[in-house]
Amino acid sequence: MVDVDELVAAARVVQLPMRVRFRGITTREALVFEGPAGWGEFGPFPEYGDAEAAHWLRAGIEAAYEGLPAPLRTRVEVNATVPAVPADGVSAVLAQFPGCRTAKVKVAEKGQTLEDDLARVAAVRKAMPDGAIRVDANGGWTVPQAHEAITRLVADGPLDYAEQPCASVEELAEVRRLVDGACDIAADESIRRATDPMRVAELGAADVAVVKVAPIGGVRAVLAVADALRAAAGVRVTVSSALDTAVGLSAGIVAAACIEDGNAAGLGTGGFFTADLGEHPLVDGALAVRTVAPTAERLAAVEVFGERRDWWLDRLRRCHALLAR
């Protein structure tokens, strides 16, 4: 285990301004550090407790100190990601995802209605008439709400899958039973925020596993979970972003490139930032497999000090202590 003082000495705390509100935020904070193998990221969202956030630190240490596994491909197809914008804002969002043939649409946003969701998905269908559509509720529906929403959504056209329609694994299993094959059900939070991600397989709760590098603890941990879920339940696997900076996104891209039969990855989130630590250009709906090393100029443009830096360093020390146990 790398010494915590070494991590603190290398730590740079950054704030990335965003073009649109996503997950309720307009600025993304994270801590990045350089090690002998490259750059790592520690960016758990503020509401996450230390036990959960420690997985994110493990992922950053893997990238910076162990290095990432060798990918199987040089390019990774990604989906467009549409936040909970009004229907008339969909075209502007999709313009940031040239060549994408799949779109994931956020639904069940607090303060919005099912009619808002239906209108947003309809606008995506109109803009991408030959595209595959996914919806992501982030656990925001009850079982009856999820059943109604999915029923109404598939009446307008097929869905690739509905991601985390409800909060618990038991609810996912019930929704999957109710929709009866009309739409695949994907598990996200029920895997990355679970003490036992295999419960999804045990309860037959999902057709698709959405896995994210930082919350699960690194690329190798993601690949192990993906292999276990596919072996136990035959699920498809989608690698997605945790709204990572370009540093963290590098690890996600490598993870997706290590999964031979992966779906279009949810990694096209770099366009949400007006400033970032590097670039992963989207070309014809795909990202090249490459890692990012921030330049001094990039870091200086977004680095923060004072109270926010102290907050992140305190969090880093607490999470490191948990890993050291």
Report the binding-site residues for Mg(2+): 136, 163, 188
- Cβ neighbours for 54, distance < 8 A, ≥ 6 positions apart: 319, 320, 322, 323
Quick count: other Cβ atoms within 10 Å of Cβ 15? 13
d(CA 258, CA 250): 13
Measured between its terminal Cα atoms, the distance across the chain in Å is: 10
DSSP string, 170-215: HHHHHHHHHHTTSS-EEESHHHHT-S-TTHHHHTT--SEEEEEHHH
d(CA 191, CA 200): 7
Report the binding-site residues: 136, 163, 188
The residue from 104, 106, 110, 126 that is catalytic is 106
- Cβ neighbours for 246, distance < 8 A, ≥ 6 positions apart: 270, 276, 277, 278, 279, 280, 292, 294
Q: 16 and 78 in contact (C-beta within 8 Å)? A: no
Position 194: which residue type? A
Residues facing 82 on adjacent strands: 105
Look at residue 34 and give its three-state secondary structure: strand
> Is 110 among the catalytic positions?
no
Q: 51 and 322 in contact (C-beta within 8 Å)? A: yes
Strand order in the sheet with 75-77: 75-77, 286-288, 282-283
> Is 212 among the catalytic positions?
yes
Tokens at residue 198, please?
Answer: 């295999």
The pair phi, psi for residue 14, each rounded to 5°, is: -130, 155
Q: 145 and 167 in contact (C-beta within 8 Å)? A: no
- Cβ neighbours for 95, distance < 8 A, ≥ 6 positions apart: none
Positions annotated as catalytic residues are: 106, 212
